[in-house]
Every structure is written in structure tokens, then in C-alpha cells.
Structure 1
Amino acid sequence: MTIAPTSSSTTSPSSRWARFRSSYLLYSFKRDWIAQVCFAVFVLLVAAAILAPWLASMNPYDLAQIRILDSELPPFWIDGSDPQYLLGTDAQGRDLLSTILYGARVSLIIGFGAVMLQALLGVTFGLLAGYLGGRVDAFLMRMADIQLSFSTLMVAIIVGAVIKATFGGAVYSEYAVFILVLIIGLAEWPQYARTVRASVLAERSKEYVDAARVMGFRAKRIMFRHILPNTLSPIFVISTVQIANAIISEAALSFLGLGMPETQPSLGSLIKSGFDYLQSGSWWITLIPGAVLIVLVLVINLLGDWLRDVMNPRLYKG
């Protein structure tokens, strides 16, 4: 018995492109206008965040560019606005549009970074638990159960508070992006581990795994070269949802004072910084970044729903 190659390294780029053009994924995408709109909005937001240094009229990190006398200027459609500040300014005199562009970039970095860490830990533990079974499975799944018994936000608050108290606020602020990626990533790995474990349990009894064992392949190669490629579909679906969850977690932590500092704006810290000015009439400092955050999370979740339906044709009703 022979094993079909699981790597596409021998396939030419032109044949891979031809297969993609005729794939069910692209066919479904062309038929779903909601997925197309969400994908376009997501790409636009990501591109704007990446190109923030070139699109923004000022660098909100540069204190020399901040004009405190221009603080709390309204957006362009309200009387008393300044034409150079399209969306107005915040309480520190920073251009709100520029701050949102830089803040979206920080939020996306934290979201993608945390999901990469979650996937690395969760997929590895899930493969080990599902393939090896026995005590390894019991130990890893009990760890996952203990972690899932606490809410993600509770774990993040506890770990963030401990780090901040141990190393001080200055160190926390300097390495805030790395710390938040670490906190959110460690809090959510069980989602991947349990899903991958279930897929591995279904795959390890199949003929191609038995054939790999008979041929003398090591467990590491069987897990990562043969079983893992057949569990990628649920991993992709989980990742889209987890990116949105990570961005929301960062915003919640920033609102509680355990996220990004005001000198390094994210969408969450922008919402927090303007919350105290709602009653004074400067609603745009909070509501406009909040609207951007809602749109970003919404399009990611809708793309995740579409991807889930496409990856499982039995659920797809397009």
C-alpha cells in the first residue's frame, strides 16, 4: 500500500492556481455577496492599518506633533471643526483619523499574534493528546478543562495584573504589545487543542495512518506530515473567530487599564481615553473608534461563518 503525498511542493504554481480557480471555495465566494463585501472591507481596513505611516497626517506616537490647543475638535460635519482634522481630535490634540489608523494596526497585530500563539500551543497539544492518548491525553485535556473553567478575560486580567505589579507600569507599557499577545494567546489555546484532538481521534484509525506505521514512520512525522493536513479545515475556521475574540479581549483589557497605554493607541485604548468625555459632548473620541472596532470584528465573524459553511458542505445552504 502506498501513501499519497501530503505536500504540494511538487505541484507547479500554475497548476495550483488552476486548482484554486476551479475550487469549491472560490465558487462559493463568488456566489456569496456578503462574504465578498466583508472580505473587501477587511482588506481595506488591514491595508489602511499597514499603510498608516503614509496615510496618516500625523504620528500619534510623536509628542512633538501633538497640539494640545487643538484638543476635542469635532469632526468635519459639525460646526467648529478644523478641515485638517477630518474626524476631529482627541483630548490630547491628536488627529483622530491618524490615531485610529495606528490603533487599528496595533489591534490587528495583537489579534493575529495571539491567534498564532494559540494555534501553536493548541495544535501541538491537540495532536499529542489525540495521537498518543493514555496519560498524555488525560493530562493535557485536564489542563484544558481547568483553563476553560475560567473566562478568558479573567485569566487575562489576573496575568496582566501580576505582570504589571511585578515589573512595574513602565515596563508593561514598553512591552505592552508582546505582553498582550502572550496573555491572550495563553488564555485561549484550549479551543484549538480540543478541536484538533477530536479530529485526530477520527483520523488516527484510518488506513493511511496504519500504512505509515507499517512503513516505520516516526510518530512525529505521522502527526505533522500526515494527520495535521487533514485537520486544517476546522483550524482555519477557529482562527477567524479567534482573531475577532483576541481583538475584543485587547479592547476590554485596555478599557480596564491593563491593555495598551494612551501613548501607544489601540482601538481599545482610544475608546477608553474618550469615555470620560462623553458627557462633555466630545462623543466622537469614543464612538468613532468604537464603530471601527465593531465593523472590524463584524466582518471577521461573518467571514468566519461563511468559511465554516464552506468547509462543511453539509451546513452550506448558499
Structure 2
Amino acid sequence: MTTATVSRWDRFRESFFWYSFKRDKVAILSFVVLLLMVLAAVFAPMLAPADPYDLAQIDIMNSELPPAGLDGADPAFPLGTDAQGRDLLSTILYGTRVSLMIGFGAVLLQSILGVLFGLMAGYLGGKVDAVLMRIADVQLSFSTLMVAIIVGAVFKASFGNLMFGEIAIYMLIFIIGVAEWPQIARTVRASVLAEKKKEYVDAAKVMGFGTPRIMFRHILPNTLSPIFVIGTVQIANAIISEAALSFLGLGMPETQPSLGSLIKSGFDFIQSGSWWITLIPGLVLVVLVLVINLLGDWLRDVMNPRLYKG
């Protein structure tokens, strides 16, 4: 067992993936920043000075206190407070946690849908391919955000106050996942069309393997590289979509902070001088999306040696 583990680790250290990662300072910095943000979000209950969900810890008299270093600041609130008197550092930690949950959850859902429909369209072809790709084309003719807004508005009109509970997270995962599956489906379909013409697929057919086994056991593993690349970028897109929906009032409520809802909650107070309520969560959102996109660009280059310039 130990020998096998050491052997796998040695193979990883000698791989082109690890070699290219060590030589790319931007990728290393992006990974470190993303890892720190993910760890801070995961351990938010332990790191946050206060619980933004606990009304007993919130004092409206502490509302709109500026960050440390500005006149009127309170050392107990290093990043200041929002309009409700909540510690902004705590709400950002919890808000980043919610945004990451929605981002990863939405990409997991759209990956499942995209891989399933892409495999079916590419391998089965014919009417199945035509129907699935026409559905994808119609959905792609609208912007992703527009589809998410329409679906989000329908959900809010249908379920009302349910959108203001914890179920809002799962609804946003469903909304964004359904809105963005065509990108992955088209990528998988293109890979399947190339793979199904290869000899190993013909050999599997001759051996009598069924269609599901050929699709999922033989073709799918050879289409994972582009899925990883597009999936990384889609995480950033999902986080941006959540922020946009929350800003428009169709996402997370202000009582359950996400980065989008925090930006929205402070937008009305910019002109009154409380710029930090919107600016600081906005900067966190920009950094989070930026490092994910930088890692996605690096991963795309590594997965395609023709693009790699390391």
C-alpha cells in the first residue's frame, strides 16, 4: 500500500502537469490565494469574529461603522459594519462560503447534465443529437444571465417566501446549473464525435459491450480534459451569475449573506459615505473570480500542449 502510494506520488512529481505548475508563478499565486479563500470560507464559523445569523450578536447602533484606520472606527470591527450592524469581516467569510457552495454546486449540476446530454448527442447521433443540440442552440441564443433571470423570477413567483430560506442556495444551484449546461454539452459532444471513430470503440463493440458501458466506461474518460478546463471557468461564471441575481433581488436575501447580496445591501449607502459595505465585498468577489479564471487559463494551456508556452 505504501509502495503504491509513493509510486503514485513520484509519478505525479514527474508529470508534465506538476512540471508546468512549478514553473508558472501566476498559477502558483492564484492557487495559493484560492486555497486560502476556500479554507477561510470552509472554516468561517471558527474564523469569523461574530455569527451574522445570530441576532443576539447584532446591534443596530453599530451600523455603518467604518473600517479600521478611519475616523469613527471600532477595533472590534476591523472591516467595519454594514447597515444592519453586522461585522463585515464575518459576513464576507460566510458570504464567500455561500458563493463558493453555489459556484461548485451549479458546476457539478451542469457537468452532470452536460456530460449526459453531450455523450448521448455525440454517440447516438441522429434524431437524439438533433433534438438535444437544437435545445442547446435555443438556450445559447439567450445570454446565460437572461435565462437565469427568467428561471429565477419563475421560482420566486412560484415559491415566494421559500426563496428567503436556506432552500435559496439549492434553488440558485438549480437555476444556474440549468442555465449553463449547453456549454459543457457541446464541448463533450465534439470530443465524443472524435473519440467514437477510434479503434478502441470498434473493439468494444466487437466484444459485445453495451452502449452505456462504451459511453461511460470507454469514451467518457477520454473526454475529461476539456471538461476540467471548461468546468474551472464555469465556476467563476456561476459565482458571477449568483452575484448578479442577488444584486437584482432574485438570489440570496440580505439576511443570508453571499458576496452578491452583500454588494447589493451596501449599494444604497455609497452616496451617504458608507462605501466599504459594497466596495470590500466587491473586491473579494473580483479577486475570487480572477484567481479562478487565471487557473482556468493555465489549465487550458496545460491540457493542450500546442497552446503551452511554459
Q: TM-score range by the shorter chain?
A: over 0.9
Aligned length: 307
- 1:49 equivalent in structure 2: 41
Aligned partner of 1:165 among 133, 148, 157: 157
Q: Distance in 1 between matches of 2:131 and 2:158?
A: 30
Looking at structure 1, the residues matched to 111 and 190 of structure 2 have their Cα atoms a distance apart, in angstroms, of 15
Q: Does 1:205 align with 2:197?
A: yes
Match of 2:81 in 1: 89
* Cα distance in 2 between the residues matched to 1:63 and 1:261: 16
For residues 203-233 of structure 1, give each alpha carbon's deviation from its aligned partner in whole angstroms, at most 9, with x where no partner exists: 0010111000000011111111111111010
Which amino acid in 2 is paired with 1:55? L
1:81-136 deviations in whole A, cap 9, x for unaligned? Answer: 00010000000000000000000000000000000000000000000110011111
CA RMSD of aligned residues (A): 0.9
Corresponding residue of 2:24: 32
* Alignment of 1:139 onto 2:131: yes
Distance 1:14 1:80 in 2: 57
CA deviation after TM superposition for structure 1 residue 171, in Å: 0.8
Unaligned runs of 5+ in 1: 1-10
Instruction: Letter of the 1:224 partner, please give it.
Output: F
SS of equivalent residue, structure 1 residue 262: coil
Shift of 1:21: 1.0
**d(CA) in 1 for partners of 2:107, 2:144:** 13
C-alpha separation between the residues in 2 aligned to 1:205 and 1:15?
34
Q: Which residue of 2 aligns with 1:244?
A: 236
4+ runs deviating over 4 angstroms? none
1:186 aligns with 2:178: yes
Deviation at 1:305, TM superposition (A): 0.2
SS of equivalent residue, structure 1 residue 12: helix
Q: CA–CA distance in 2 between the matches of 1:82 and 1:102?
A: 21
Instruction: Give the deviation of 1:289 after TM superposition.
Output: 0.2
Match of 1:77 in 2: 69
**CA deviation vs aligned residue, 1:243-282 (integer Å, no higher than 9, x gap):** 0000000000000000100110000000000000000000
Pick which of 147-156 and 100-109 moved more: 147-156
* CA apart distance, 1:16: 2.0
Tell me by how many angstroms 1:19 deviates: 1.4
Q: Distance in 1 between matches of 2:138 and 2:69?
A: 51
Show the 5 A alignment for 1:105-124. Answer: 105-124=97-116
TM-score (norm 2): 0.98
Please state how far the C-alpha of 1:12 moved relative to its aligned partner.
Answer: 3.3
* TM-score normalised by the chain length of structure 1: 0.95
Q: Residues 55-77 of structure 1, C-alpha deviation per residue, up to 9 Å, x if partnerless?
A: 00111011111110000000001
Distance 1:65 1:17 in 2: 47
Identity %: 77
Deviation, 1:15, is 2.5
The residue identity in structure 2 corresponding to 1:87 is L
Q: Distance in 2 between matches of 1:200 and 1:158?
A: 32
Query: Any stretches of 5+ residues in structure 2 without a counterpart?
Result: none
Greater shift after overlay, 12-21 or 154-163? 12-21
